[in-house]
A and B are shown apart, each in its own frame.
Chain A
Amino acid sequence: MSVGGHQAPPIFRRGPAPLVRLFVYVTVALAMLVMDLRFRYLEVFRQAMTVVTYPLQMAASTPADMVRNASTYFATLLQVQLENRDLRRKQLEAAEHLLRSAHLEEENAQLRGLLDMGQRLKVKSVAAEILYNARDPFSRKVILDKGSQQGIEAGQAVVDARGVVGQVTRVFPIQAEVTLLTDKNQAIPVMLPRNGLRGVAFGAGQGILELRFVEANADIKAGDALVTSGLDGVFVPGLPVASVTRIDREVQAFARILCEPAAGVERAGQVLVIGREAPPPALPPEPPAPPNKSPRRKGAASE
């Protein structure tokens, strides 16, 4: 084998030259990057490698656990008392809502029965704690202390007391990786409860969201609240997502709408993982192809 970037004389040469080896490895790495980032083909390979790395990761996370435990251990009595009083007050407030919501839910079920509508979605939830931020500086991901053994599944929504924080993207046996809403590759289907306007919110970096593909003349204004629409079949409908902060209608055909997440996306500690009890209903069958292709645009039919 030749080293040092130099070609060895033929009698000593064993194996390919360094430049050739570099070329081969770089090609393989680039192919893996494309397959992973563009097509997501390598999730099985990643899960298999996790078996090797998992014990080491568990051992390596002990320093972070110690720091976290130490900070709670040294919290003063006064802080705990203040927090306790705050929580009691919040519990009383929540109890009032809870009592009323039980009544409303019953009424809702009766009314739906009268109208022969399907029952509302059954929801299951698991309480979890955010352990730490993932190491990758190019994305916004956190690690939860619950995993597939506690019933967490990929795709479930993660919420805190005020709204959606993110979505579970990878599940390990006793941990799960959550992509936060502010990650640039994260999207969430939302709805405007005021008028039923639907859209998709994307992470825009710097802790804000962007509502894309909404026409410049759409009925939306700063201060509007956005909730999940549930049309994706993954998220539970009606969870608060964000509030609109700024609208720029002068850009192009679509308005540029920036939103502030409702939840403490980058600050949350205790979260709830919410998923659907039953799998979403199957998609309707594909309509038969029209007999002759018309030259009309795709969106023209709806106008």
Chain B
Amino acid sequence: MQPTHRSSRILLPVKRWFVYFSLFIALGLAYIPTGRLIGIPDPVALVLAFWCIREPLHVGMGVAFLLGLLVDVGHGAALGQHALSYVILAYLAEAVSRRVLWFQPFEQALHILPIFLVTQVIMTGIRLLAGAEFPGWWIFLGPFVSAALWVPLHFVLLFPQFQPGERDDNRPI
């Protein structure tokens, strides 16, 4: 039998409220003041990319744009900086979603890493064009940490869909 992402494990349909709830939690995590610590992952980008790949019909560029504006306001960054990079992130994630889902979580993370790096480069380029100070090469550590968190995130965000609605010993879920 040909292995597909749908046949590897039969999942329940996703709940819309859980998608938006997880994005809300990610936004809250993004607001935690971490000061000048290096290698901080971007939780919003991570969860957004996950749902853009899993549920491209529910979460797309519109949600990405709105979340980007909220992150910009919360961080006190230039308005539109995260919005721009998240829209591009959502577009790229949608574009590779059909392909990525055939792989194991670790291999999926390798597909996602370049996308995170591209969005970080775009964000940095925009701010440097606007005359900001280059904060150092360590800001490109964040995307690597984000990609490393893809595997645990995969199980956390799919956990509600692993649970069968009613218990049935003869059904292989």
Contact = CB atoms under 8 A, between A and B. Distances in A.
Contacts of B153: none
Contacts of B61: 18, 21-22, 25
Given A33-B130, A46-B73, A4 B87 contact: no
Contacts of B124: 138
Interface in B56-92: 56-57, 60-62, 64-65, 68-70, 73-81, 83-84, 87-88, 91
A237 B9 CA distance: 70
Given A3-B94, A137-B135, A33 B78 contact: yes
A36 B80 contact: yes
Given A3-B97, A29-B87, A63-B32, A137 B65 contact: no
Contacts of B94: 3-5, 18
Interface in B25-46: 27-36
Given A32-B79, A185-B131, A135 B33 contact: yes
A60 B32 contact: yes
B78 A134 contact: no
Contacts of A22: 61, 87-88, 91
A12 to B, nearest CB: 12
Interface in A1-45: 1, 3-5, 18, 21-22, 25-26, 28-33, 35-37, 42, 45
A132 interface: yes
Interface stretch (A49-57, A119-127, A293-301): A49-57
Given A4-B98, A33-B130, A36-B78, A53 B73 contact: yes
Contacts, number: 145
A141 B35 CA distance: 10
Contacts of A25: 61-62, 64-65, 83-84, 87
Interface size class of B (residues with CB under 8 A): 35 or more
A7 to B, nearest CB: 12
B169 interface: no
A245 interface: no
Interface string A102-119: 000000000000000000
Contact of A61 (B27, B30, B32, B133): B32
Contacts of B1: none
Interface residues of A, number: 51
B74 to A, nearest CB: 5
A131 B124 CA distance: 26
Nearest to B81: A33
A159 to B, nearest CB: 21
A177 interface: yes
Contacts of B79: 32-33, 35-36, 42, 45-46
A5 B33 contact: no
Contacts of A53: 31, 70, 73-74
Interface string B44-56: 0000000000001
Most buried by A among B31, B68, B88, B131: B31
Contacts of B127: 138
B126 interface: yes
A25 B91 CA distance: 10
A170 B76 contact: yes
Contacts of A26: 84, 87-88
B84 A131 contact: no
Interface of A: 1, 3-5, 18, 21-22, 25-26, 28-33, 35-37, 42, 45-46, 49-50, 52-53, 56-57, 59-61, 63-64, 131-141, 143, 170, 177, 183-185, 203, 205
Given A30-B84, A33-B79, 17 more contacts: A1-B60, A3-B57, A5-B94, A5-B95, A22-B88, A25-B87, A26-B87, A30-B80, A33-B81, A36-B78, A60-B33, A64-B32, A138-B128, A138-B132, A139-B76, A143-B33, A170-B76
Which 8 residue pairs of A and B lie closest in terms of their CB atoms, listed nearest first?
A: A5-B95, A32-B80, A60-B31, A29-B84, A132-B33, A138-B132, A3-B56, A36-B79
29 contacts: A3-B94, A4-B56, A5-B95, A21-B61, A22-B87, A25-B65, A25-B83, A28-B65, A28-B80, A28-B83, A36-B80, A37-B130, A45-B79, A49-B73, A56-B74, A60-B28, A60-B33, A61-B31, A132-B33, A132-B35, A135-B33, A135-B34, A136-B75, A137-B36, A138-B132, A138-B133, A139-B76, A139-B132, A141-B76
